[in-house]
Chain A
C-alpha cells in the first residue's frame, strides 16, 4: 500500500501539535514523524487497504490547524481547567484517613 509524505511548516506548527494530530491518525495509519528543519515531515502508511485515502493531505492539514487552535486555548485556559477539576473533585475525596 502506498504511503504519503506531508511537510508542515515548523515555524507555524509546534512539534507537539503535529504529534497530537499524528496520534489521531494512528488508528488507520502507521505514522512516522521527523523534524527536518524548516519543516516537520509526516509519513502516513495505511494499515489496511480499506482505509479512506481521499483528500488525506488536506484532512491532515485541517486537523493540524484545529490542533493548533486547541493548543492556543490550552495555553490560555489550561491552569483554570486544572483548578476547576481539582475543586470539583475535592468533594469526592475520602475524609480523614481515607476509611469509609
Chain B
C-alpha cells in the first residue's frame, strides 16, 4: 500500500484568521517582539516572523503557527467554536470583577507614635483621640460591609497605628463575626501595625480570629531607624521585639513585612535583603514611595525617579534570586504578582493590575470619620485637601457610592484597554489602570502615559522579569516560576503599613 505525501493531510495553506493581538519590540533585542493575545497569552518571535504573519504568509503548518493558535493570537478559518476558549480565558483573567470589592480597609485611628518622612497619611499625635473612629459608626459600617456581594471579605485594619485604638478593632471584629453567622461569607482579617508594644491579650485575640499581621521593616537598624524615626530612636528594636512576640504566640508565619524605599534605601539593596533573611522572612515587598501626604513634602530629600527605582530593583532581584539559588527561600511579592500575570491564566485582583480599575471596584476604604473612599490613595488625597474621590459616608448606601460623581470621574480613566498609550501596549492584558495615582501625579485621571511613573514602573518591571527569565539558568527559572504559582495567595495583604 502506498501512502500519500504529508502535504495531502494538511488543510488549505494561508487559511488563518488574525485574532486581536498587540506587540512590543524587546528592549534587549530589538529584532524580536513580545506578542500578546486579548486574554494575555503571549510568546516571543522574530519581528520578521510577525511581519510574515500579518501579511498572511506564515505557513499554516509551521511550529510558530501552532504556538500562535495555542495562545489565541491566530485562529483557523473564523468560526465561533474557535473564539469560545479565548472568551473563557478573558473572563478568567478578569475574574476579579465578579462579586465586587473583596478588600475592605478600615482606618480605626490616625494616631501614630512615628514621624516617618515618607508617611502617606496625615498622622496625628498619640494624644489626639478625636482622630479615632467612634464606636457609634460600627453598626453602619458592618451593615455596609455586608451589602457588598463578595463571597470572601478581607477586612484590613490600619491607621495611623491601629493598636492605639485596639478596642475599636476588637469591637468591629466581634460585630462582623456575629453578623457573619447568618451571612456565611469567608472572612479574612488583617492588621497593618508596627507591632510596637503589642500585648499578649491582643495577640490572643488575633489568634482567636486568625488575623494576619503585616508590619513595616525597612532594613537593618541604621536604615529602619533613619526612615522611621521615633523620639526614642529605637523603632527597629521595637519592631523586631514585636515580630518576635507575635511569632511566639501565633507562629512563625503569622507576620509578613513590607519595606518602603527611600533614597537612602536605594543605596543598600543587599543589606535590606540580608536583614529579611536574618529575621527569617520568606517574602519581601520592595515598595517605592508614593506621592502622597508627608512623602510629597519631603520628596526633594527622600525621593528618587522611577528609573532610579528600576536600577535598584534589578540589583535587588539579582540578590534575591541568588539567595534562593543558595538555598534560602525568599520571594519578592510584586515580582510574584507580575509573574503570575505572565505565567498563569488566573487573576489575583491586585489593585495595580486590574482593568477595570481596582479603586471602588475591588477595594473600599472606611475612614475614621465615617467617610468612604475607593482606595487608600484617594483617602490620602482627601487628607491633603483634595476630596473629589470621596464616595460618600456610611449614612449612604453602597448604591449611592457606586453612582457618585467620584466613581463617574474615576471610570473615565479606569479601563486600561481604552486609555491612550495603553490601548495598543502589548502588556495591557496583564496590566491595570490607576486613575487615582494619575490624578495625584499628573492632575488628570486619564494621565499622560509617556511621562507616567506608573507606566514606567509597570513596563520596566515586565521588561525586567521577561529579560531575567529569558537569560536565567534552569534553576533560576524554576525559582521565578515558583513565585508565580504562590503569588495568588498574597495579593490581598499587599497594602501599606503607615
List chain A positions with a Cβ less than 8 A from chain B.
20, 23-28, 62, 66-67, 69-70, 72-74, 76-78, 80-81, 84-85, 87-89, 91-92, 94, 98-100
Contact = CB atoms under 8 A, between A and B. Distances in A.
Nearest to A94: B402
Contacts of A94: 402
Interface size, B (range): 35 or more
Max chain B Cβ within 10 angstroms of own Cβ: one of A25, A78, A89, A100: A100
Given A77-B18, A91-B98, A100 B399 contact: yes
B90 A84 contact: yes
B399 A98 contact: yes
B468 interface: no
Interface of B: 18-23, 25, 30, 38, 50-51, 54, 83, 86-87, 90-91, 94, 97-98, 100, 147-149, 356, 397-399, 402-403, 417, 420-421, 424, 448-451
A92 B424 contact: no
Contact of A70 (B86, B94, B424): B424
Nearest to A26: B450
Contact of B38 (A72, A76, A81): A81
A31 B83 CA distance: 41
Given A28-B450, A70-B22, A92-B97, A84 B38 contact: yes
Q: Which 3 A-B pairs have the closest CB atoms?
A: A27-B450, A92-B97, A81-B20
A92 B403 CA distance: 16
Contacts, number: 83
B147 A100 contact: yes
Contacts of B19: 77, 80
Contacts of B98: 91-92
Given A85-B417, A91-B97, A98-B402, 20 more contacts: A24-B450, A66-B25, A69-B54, A70-B424, A72-B54, A73-B20, A73-B22, A73-B54, A77-B21, A78-B20, A81-B20, A84-B83, A84-B86, A88-B87, A91-B91, A91-B98, A92-B94, A92-B97, A94-B402, A100-B147
A76 B399 contact: no
B94 A23 contact: no
Contacts of B149: 100
A72 B88 CA distance: 26
Nearest to A92: B97
A71 to B, nearest CB: 9
Contacts of B421: 23-24
Contacts of A92: 94, 97-98, 356
Given A23-B420, A70-B22, A88 B94 contact: yes
